[in-house]
Amino acid sequence: MMAINHAATGALIGLTVDEPFLALPLSFVSHFVLDAIPHYDPVEGTNEEKISSKKFFYIQIVLGALLCFLLILLLSITQPKRWLVAAGCAFLGASPDLLSFPRYLSVKQTGMDIDKTNWFWSFHSWIQWRTGPDLLWTELVWLGAIGFCVAGLL
């Protein structure tokens, strides 16, 4: 899923789960639950082709970071109950994808992806069993539903 969906789901968990020590790990785990749902990927091809494309950079990295920043800004302006926990949960919900940044740098610098044979990369790749440019609708439906729920709590 795109970063904003991970962050918005994490924020919703932070806004609705009373206990921060439960909300924080739940938002982290939610990342992997969402990635198991077939979802959008702007580019088809090998990992190297995906990561090195300008479309990937602008959609996944630039747009994703901007939308997540706007979500945190919205939380900080409206300051609903538990907004700081919600902001932390938003970060934790999106954080596993931050581990992709070294991959992006490696592909940009060497043209090759990093070794992904460790347990984390194996698991993260395994759960993302279907992605592609034709699945943007799943992202938009999820964002609409989660956005509606978050907006109702602001």
Q: pLDDT digits over 1-44, tens only?
A: 999 999 999 999 999 999 999 999 999 999 999 999 999 887 66
The model's confidence at residue 114, banded by pLDDT at 50, 70 and 90, is: confident
pLDDT for the residue 58: 75
CA count, 13 A, side-chain hemisphere, 71: 32
CB atoms within 10 A of CB 69: 12
Which tops the pLDDT comparison, 85 or 122? 85
Cross-strand pairs, 39: 131
Percent over 90 (pLDDT), the chain:
60
CB atoms within 10 A of CB 101: 10
68: CB partners within 8 A, 6+ apart: 3, 4, 7, 90, 94
